[in-house]
A and B are shown apart, each in its own frame.
Chain A
């Protein structure tokens, strides 16, 4: 099973929920797909066993074969190539590694080479498997790295994905293929606005979803009303407490620091399992 924890708005407590759930359930595996700013390791403190660089394929032009005909530039949909009278320039940060230029070069002057964009780390904490991706600073494209992290999805385990915030391509790439998506929000106008956007994407993707309202006592009733209107179940509410904020700040796990939350996380997980089973039915 694959359960993704997402949120339109950042900083709502998505990673807290993901890390604590992963800790609670047996035979789990956490995949941190927030490759721009992965944070789950602060809470889970896994022992990292392997680290692997992640590459994308970019074209290399053999200028001894190239006739500077300009075809590659014309065909590249991303304007990643510029053909000058005696040189072909590549803008690697624009290249989507689609393979069009190398396939269609009439002189077979284009081959491909690896370009590093980040790395993936694999580790564990007791029974829990842990995988995260980290995008190199200055790199702009997260989706290929997210795909790499997701290649570690394991059908024999319960996979918990910590998705990046927002509703753009990285979030979609992370959520794709999930059995259930949990949206973490807060009851403020920002939280509501971003929840609406996230709900729209998840609905389009036809993935069953539920909501967790964090800092549920700081704000208004509007998020609850919205969930009711849209028939999205609210699976858990967590109040604002300075102790929770402090535990979070230090990277402490709620389940360890405040075991009184264990029952509500257990209940949350049961409800996710039920809804996911319903969704699959």
Chain B
């Protein structure tokens, strides 16, 4: 079983579109949406939710006014300025460190578990999907990503699946680091722009830092030929394989509007390019001595 994560550093480069397309091509696989903070993969896969679980993580203080002597120890010790002057809590600033609880001389503060999200096990027309939803403004997205990853892997092992296809999250912080752990390859989607190249460069560094090999796909490559050439040069210098280039294709947005992947359209340039990319990825994994499943579309 191989785990492949699609990442990009910069958001909006087409990582979810590509993951969804891979899901439509691959046989015998499980999908995981690790962009828990702005999950979109489900919009193309129309999942039928089979199981729904609460994600509880982190703690939140509750102040009992009856017991409180207004000594303000809690206010003074909270390093996150989360307890206001009137002793009310700023929930968005609180990190749940418990300092206030520990320091309160009147035992007026107790901690409550926070529901920070939900995660789901779903069926889709392409196979099982594990996805999640982080409550707005919540932290611990890294933990939720790790949970989604664990569930996806277990489902894959149970089913004897060949692939776990993971839609990663943007940026280089905790959710991305959690998306990258224990994967076989990271497919990095880059759009030809200075910022796209810069951000991809940073996330490739992160992948390397955690010992994950990157493979590059250039999306909408024809929007700037010069920068596409620059990306190819960048990859060449670092010996990062370029799996292929996808042209700008209005069919992608049209299919998105119908809640379909680009693979479900008739003839399309983007579709043809993605099939080639998938085959090349399969060959690459094969040539590194790993069994691959058949790809066709």
Contact = CB atoms under 8 A, between A and B. Distances in A.
A98 B80 CA distance: 8
B138 A169 contact: yes
B173 A142 contact: yes
B198 A242 contact: no
B257 A188 contact: yes
Interface in B235-271: 250, 253, 256-257, 259
A42 B195 contact: yes
B38 A8 contact: yes
A171 interface: yes
Given A165-B38, A171-B137, A249 B256 contact: no
Contact-size category for B: 35 or more
Given A10-B10, A137-B172, A165-B170, A190 B16 contact: yes
Given A100-B102, A165-B38, A15 B174 contact: no
Contacts of A204: 136-137
A39 interface: yes
Nearest to B80: A98
Interface stretch (A84-92, A123-131, A194-202, A261-269): A194-202
Nearest to B224: A249
Contact of A193 (B40, B92, B224): B40
Contacts of B103: 103
A271 interface: no
A152 interface: no
B98 A75 contact: yes
Given A168-B139, A172-B137, A190-B256, A245 B223 contact: yes
Contacts of B136: 167, 197, 200-201, 204
Nearest to A200: B136
Q: Main SS of chain A's interface residues? A: loop
Contact of B102 (A104, A170, A189): A104
Given A96-B95, A97-B79, A100-B98, A197 B198 contact: no
A164 B93 CA distance: 17
B15 to A, nearest CB: 9
Contacts of B234: none
B95 A98 contact: yes
A176 B139 CA distance: 15
Contact of A168 (B138, B196, B198, B250): B138
A176 to B, nearest CB: 7
A228 to B, nearest CB: 19
Contacts of B226: 250
B65 interface: no
Contact of B43 (A96, A100, A189, A250): A189
Interface string B31-47: 00000011110010000
Contact of A218 (B194, B196, B253): B253
B79 A98 contact: yes
A135 B173 contact: yes
A96 B139 CA distance: 12
* Most chain B CB neighbours (cut-off 10 Å) among A197, A242, A249: A249
Interface stretch (B124-132, B199-207, B288-296): B199-207
A207 B212 CA distance: 40
A100 B99 contact: yes
A96 B14 CA distance: 33
A17 B73 CA distance: 44
Interface in A1-60: 8-12, 15, 36-37, 39, 42
B244 to A, nearest CB: 19
Nearest to B36: A168
A78 interface: yes
Nearest to A194: B38
A205 to B, nearest CB: 7
A39 to B, nearest CB: 4
A277 interface: no
Interface string B8-34: 011111001000000000000000000
B139 A169 contact: yes
A137 to B, nearest CB: 5
Contacts of A10: 10-13, 38, 170
A154 interface: no
11 contacts: A9-B11, A10-B13, A37-B170, A37-B172, A37-B202, A100-B97, A103-B99, A138-B177, A170-B173, A193-B40, A249-B194
Given A201-B136, A204-B137, A249-B192, 6 more contacts: A42-B198, A97-B79, A167-B38, A197-B136, A250-B194, A250-B226
Interface of A: 8-12, 15, 36-37, 39, 42, 75, 77-78, 96-100, 103-104, 135, 137-143, 164-172, 176, 188-190, 193-194, 197, 200-201, 204-205, 218-220, 242, 245-246, 248-251
